[in-house]
Amino acid sequence: MPGAAHPLGYDAETPGEPDHSRGTRVTAPDSASTGVRGAPTARRTLVAFAPFLALAVVHLAMIALGLDEAARVSKLLLMPALAFAVMLALWPVRSDASWLLITAIAFSWGGDAALTVPGEWWFIIGLGSFLLAHLAYIALFFRLPAEGRRLNAWALGYAVWYIGFLALLAPHLGGMIVPVAVYGAVLGAMAALAAAHGGLIAAGGAFFVVSDSVLALGRFLPGYEFALHDVTVMTSYLAAQGLIALGAVSAIRADRRARVPSRPARDRRASATAR
């Protein structure tokens, strides 16, 4: 049966599906396609991610302008917009990797929501939700195609970051030392595995470490002052989420295309038999 119709009118990404009415092979849209139903993959991705990008710009502008209440509201819209972008870009959503990506984004939204509420317990809840998001990302990275995946010098760099950063903050963490240590270890592992994939995913993992490091400095390190703290935290955080999502979408699409067997068209088989 033909693939499910795409919500925006694009062809569902089911490459290599035979069209028995014509005896020819139907392929998914590629970069050489034209028209609405054969729109290039890049255009389809841009349309899917546009709402997230627009919301991210608006949110960062609100932070810069000091519109705190408006920024809190817009923050809660960011991850749903990113999940929506992923679902549109990968429609129909079928693979385990696709759902792991959406799950990681959902747990990230839970962390965003908890961290908008003052109080240490809400901070711990938010930390736990982001911990689950990173575990989902780790599972995702193991599900993505293994071709070209290898740990590199960045993995060692994240180990050095973890040891040094924990040593810096430990005297000021008090009862939070265990949750922060566990969270930092999982974050470092996620970033190291992201680096093994290279490209956009690796950059996203690095931005996540930057965002959480700046956030932790602001919360736990006495005497810390940085005028652009909030903008830096959110800019690097949104870059991290967006780049990981974009890189994972590209890898999942490539894996879909690679898994489709090449089958000769009926009319070609008939011609060969006739000879």
Parse the chain into domains and list their residue ranges. 17-262
The model's pLDDT over 58-115, given as tens digits with 9 standing for 90+, comes to: 999 999 999 999 999 999 999 999 999 999 988 877 788 899 999 999 999 999 999 9
Residue 264 corresponds to which tokens in the numbers above? 């000769």
Number of helices and strands in the chain (H, E)? 9, 2
pLDDT in the model for residue 153:
74
pLDDT in the model for residue 65:
93
Residue 220 corresponds to which tokens in the numbers above? 């736990």
Tell me how crowded residue 167 is: count the other CB atoms within 10 A of its CB.
9
SS3 at position 26: strand
Highest mean predicted confidence (pLDDT) among 124-128, 149-153, 155-159, 267-271: 124-128
Q: Evaluate if residue 226 carries a pLDDT over 60.
A: yes
How far is the C-alpha of 274 from the C-alpha of 97, rounded, in Å? 45
Q: Which positions ≥6 away from 157 have C-beta within 8 Å?
A: none
pLDDT in the model for residue 251:
87
SS3 at position 259: helix
Q: Evaluate if residue 125 carries a pLDDT over 80.
A: yes
pLDDT in the model for residue 34:
31
Nearest to 22 by CA among 206, 236, 266: 266
pLDDT in the model for residue 91:
83
Contact between 98 and 144 under an 8 Å Cβ cutoff? The reply is no
pLDDT in the model for residue 6:
55
| Entry pTM | 0.79
How far is the C-alpha of 245 from the C-alpha of 200, rounded, in Å? 9
Q: Evaluate if residue 4 carries a pLDDT over 60.
A: no
Half-sphere exposure of 29 (CA within 13 A, CB side): 23
How far is the C-alpha of 124 from the C-alpha of 111, rounded, in Å? 9
How far is the C-alpha of 132 from the C-alpha of 225, rounded, in Å? 30
Phi, psi of 16 (to 5 degrees): 80, 10
Strands 24-26 and 17-19: antiparallel
- Amino acid at site 256: R
Mean pLDDT, the chain, as a whole number? 82
The model's pLDDT over 8-67, given as tens digits with 9 standing for 90+, comes to: 555 444 444 444 434 444 444 443 333 334 345 778 888 889 999 999 999 999 999 999
The model's pLDDT over 168-185, given as tens digits with 9 standing for 90+, comes to: 999 999 989 999 999 999
> In DSSP terms, which residues pair with 26 in a beta bridge?
17
How far is the C-alpha of 68 from the C-alpha of 176, rounded, in Å? 27
Residue the block writes with tokens 């997230």: 52
**Who wins on pLDDT, 31 or 141?**
141
How far is the C-alpha of 49 from the C-alpha of 126, rounded, in Å? 25
By the 10 Å C-beta count (0-12 exposed, 13-18 middle, 19+ buried), 209 is classed as buried
Contact between 80 and 109 under an 8 Å Cβ cutoff? The reply is yes
